[in-house]
Amino acid sequence: MYEQLRLIRLVTLARLRSAGWVPWLLVSGWLLAAALQEPMLFRRYGIYLVDDAAWTGGAVVLVVLLLSERRLPRRSALICNLVTVAAISVLQVVAAYLADLNPWTSSLSSRAMGCLFFFAAWSPLAITLSRNSGAAARDKLVGKLVVLSAIVMGSMLAVALRSSPDTFVIGASVLAFLAAVCWASGPRSTT
């Protein structure tokens, strides 16, 4: 257990150093711009620009962090990627809360559900990135196509979970999670 926590800490530090400060600065500016330009009139109609900006910024930072350091220990790659998604989901909720201090803010329970929905939308991408492709060109192409489809699926699930999280959308996110787990635990190619 201690060894796995140490690996998670080392991978997180390596990812943060590889990504640098530019994505964090861009997302902070993005949130500040959304907070400054949002008229309070939109809140009465259910439009929350700051929360949407936090989701978009969190997704960009997540993809940058997941792709910045690809050399992961095989035994803890899945856990490291899921911890990264969980940390970014919490950070985007906290950043949205701090940037959005006004009378019509969302409740704490809706922000917690937003954190869970962000994790549900982007965890299949993290799971598919935990599997290394084989050495053959065909295996690398299939691996890249699976990761690309996980990015597209994650963005579609993020929009659906952000706008109207009904049972079909939650079911789709569960199926995407299970499909990613099946992909990650599939047999490795030896050729």
pLDDT in tens, 53-111: 888 999 999 999 888 876 767 777 788 889 999 999 999 988 888 887 765 566 777 88
Closest CA to 38 of 26, 49, 52: 49
Query: What does the pLDDT read at residue 5?
Result: 81
Share of the chain above pLDDT 90, in %: 30
**128 is a domain residue:** yes
The number of distinct structural domains making up the chain is: 1
Q: Which domain, by its residues, includes 51?
A: 2-184
Whole-angstrom Cα distance, residue 40 to residue 76?
45
Query: What does the pLDDT read at residue 89?
Result: 94
pTM for this structure?
A: 0.84
Which residue is it, tokens 């599939």? 186
Query: What separation, in Å, do the N-terminal and C-terminal C-alpha atoms of the chain show?
Result: 33
User: 17: which 2 tokens?
Assistant: 């150093």
**167 is a domain residue:** yes
Contacts of residue 80, defined as CB under 8 A and 6 or more positions apart, other chains included, come to 7, 8, 11, 12, 72, 73, 130
Query: What does the pLDDT read at residue 59?
Result: 92
Whole-angstrom Cα distance, residue 16 to residue 83?
13
**189 is a domain residue:** no
